[in-house]
Structure 1
């Protein structure tokens, strides 16, 4: 425990140092220092590491809000990328940064929000918060949980981390391997419910949000969407527009700072790319076109005129942009790991990504189904893209397989909601 507490303090110090030259670290520090907690008589507490986990756990959050509208809901985030984008979500009565995991912070925070239950999505295992909940007999649920053999919980030196897991009331897991790993360390309070992300992306695909200007940019042409890209991805992808002059391209970078956007534009043929903000501004009469629709214009416009690549310079519209696409590339595979493939898959888009995908069940399964394609270099990227572009039969079969894969994996939300209900304040767990 001593080493854990020291580690938490060292982490805070490292972020504090980084805050002097890193904007995200600055928000992490400033947000926690300035926030003031509201006192609740009771609440349901949802915690998310970041924006991705929020979208993953959102089906449960929405279902809980709809089923128990009388309950107050508190949402916390660890990362600024989640908090800054969802701090005003109508799904919560209060949204906070999770205070640093110290015994005092955990005691004060739980005293303030008085949760009758807590729901953590996928991961984030904090000793002092879990211990405070456990001591007060407040049920704690992990949803869409997933575990791998190499994690510290299953190492000989992972005793403290296994103790953290022992404080969880019930685990709702994504797969059998996770269930078996927990069983091996004596934890059998588990249910394999699947991944709630499937429910989230399926709902989004059923009622996609219309994106102003997207239909006009597509203009009835085929569209390749590169989502959550990093510079390593973009260097490879920048070669594609010249190879496919009849296609349009949309890049939605993971980081949208001006310097990052300008670096991407410089990779592309001069004059071929436009920022989304400029596109909408320069086409002020744009109306929201439905996904897959053409553009209603009084005079026909050649698809070869105007910019062929649109650069998204904001955050938050990517999941709906996929509705306009035909092929998707998912970024991150040349770094620590790929981003969300399911958002594109729910629309039946074949997905391409880099080599680092082994930690993601759905990516491994899509590769096995030959509905997702991992590439290691420019040659492989161009090869699979060319096959999808030129072989219509292969494209249609791939699209059908990936769409069916998402549909068949929905249902986690219903299973979880049938088993979890908020108890009366401090009455203890139901499971």
Structure 2
């Protein structure tokens, strides 16, 4: 089965490269640094204590406290960080700079993985969430390099997919030194696939710190927006923006001065979403043209503010009264609902939350979050804007959920250090 997987992956490689070229039309970074994806990286100046892999922005931000702790333990340039997407790469470089060595991750081809391993020679490998790469796992085990899958989650949908190849899944998972699952349910699904070394450590996204500078930026932005009702739709996807703009149009019928902070998940969609907003005849302001917010006190009077900037999600949350988290009205699986909850915002999300089941359930059980769909989103927003006491209660409950579930990061660092 591994041989079949590898042959199919080799056959797919030309199409993978064509897809990179296709995506580079909107984001030119996709056509750069291809050598890194094939393992052609410069050997590090010092031994690599830990190689951390985080796919894109969400995983990178979740891993950030862990990476900083590893740098503090092992020293600068002793931690190698890989991502798969240019946006993840940009976040690593912006947030960690020269403290780590950063490249794209190698494709899961035996010769590519071997080349990368020969050059990097990591002492340990830490893979965020659910990146099960059979050839990487086999290469690590063959070299006796402990590989950890951390903050691991396995949705029922993914479990059903892996269950179709039970022997392959079991042998792949056997190459892991340890799987640190987010929840007992995730851990049990891994065990049912045949994983032997599984523990529940919680979700390190609960340990993500709220950046003070971002909160200050958000307050400055709110100062420009004034006392208007403000809601943010964060990490939205194609097919979702239309639904959110429709809900905002309904909200404007009763709250004529309301403003929507619309923040697409992927930067290559910024211009397309701006055109959509104008086509729907909303007045538009783009964050990218505002510049520094602590200068001119001129008010922002647009109906929709497009969050076309990187690394300012906490600022957008800090400027809002209510947060909707995207990827949940379309079959993406949702995004991190804990970030707005940590700021004490009422958190709304759609029915498609299979990637964040534990966080969703915790917020719902504590009455710190509200499930919605496209049909009732506008009415839910109206009710919350008209009931400040309920907004505050939801925010307090959500913040308490985040505080009560901290501690996974320290457990994880201890486990990595013990092996």
Per the normalisation by structure 1, the TM-score is 0.85
Contact preservation (8 Å) 2:351, 2:373: yes
Contact preservation (8 Å) 1:273, 1:310: yes
Q: Quote the Cα distance in structure 1 between the aligned partners of 2:99 and 2:139.
A: 22
Aligned: 1:97 with 2:104:
yes
Counterpart of 1:274 (choices 285, 288, 297) is 285
Counterpart of 2:200 (choices 172, 181, 192) is 192
Contact preservation (8 Å) 1:329, 1:351: yes
Contact preservation (8 Å) 1:75, 1:92: no
Q: Quote the Cα distance in structure 1 between the aligned partners of 2:181 and 2:278.
A: 42
**How far apart are 1:387 and its partner, in Å?**
1.4
Per the normalisation by structure 2, the TM-score is 0.87
**How far apart are 1:53 and its partner, in Å?**
0.8
| Bigger shift: residues 250-259 or 22-31 | 22-31
Aligned: 1:320 with 2:326:
no
**1:274 to 1:376, Cα distance in 2 relative to 1, 3 A:** same
Aligned-CA RMSD value? 2.7
Q: Quote the Cα distance in structure 2 between the aligned partners of 1:131 and 1:69.
A: 28
Match of residue 5 from structure 2: 4
Aligned residue for 1:83, secondary structure, equals helix
Counterpart of 2:256 (choices 245, 256, 263) is 245
Q: Quote the Cα distance in structure 1 between the aligned partners of 2:56 and 2:211.
A: 22
Q: Quote the Cα distance in structure 2 between the aligned partners of 1:70 and 1:317.
A: 26
Q: Quote the Cα distance in structure 2 between the aligned partners of 1:195 and 1:351.
A: 18
Aligned residue for 2:263, secondary structure, equals strand
Match of residue 83 from structure 2: 77
**How far apart are 1:115 and its partner, in Å?**
0.4
Note the 1:312-351 alignment, pairs <5 A. 312-335=307-330, 336-351=332-347
Q: Quote the Cα distance in structure 1 between the aligned partners of 2:238 and 2:108.
A: 34
Note the 1:17-416 alignment, pairs <5 A. 17-23=18-24, 27-28=29-30, 30-33=32-35, 36-40=40-44, 41-43=46-48, 44-69=50-75, 72-87=78-93, 89-90=96-97, 92-150=99-157, 151=159, 155-200=163-208, 203-204=209-210, 208-211=214-217, 214-238=221-245, 239=249, 240-255=251-266, 256-269=269-282, 272-280=283-291, 286-287=293-294, 306-335=301-330, 336-360=332-356, 361-378=358-375, 380-416=376-412
- Which one has a bigger Cα radius of gyration? 1
**How far apart are 1:175 and its partner, in Å?**
0.7
Q: How many residues align?
A: 402
Cα-to-partner distance string for 1:11-30 (whole Å, 9 max, x where unaligned)? 32222233443327974454
Aligned residue for 1:232, secondary structure, equals coil
**How far apart are 1:127 and its partner, in Å?**
1.6
Gaps of 5+ in 2: none
Match of residue 292 from structure 1: none
Q: Quote the Cα distance in structure 2 between the aligned partners of 1:70 and 1:94.
A: 9
Q: Quote the Cα distance in structure 1 between the aligned partners of 2:318 and 2:11.
A: 44
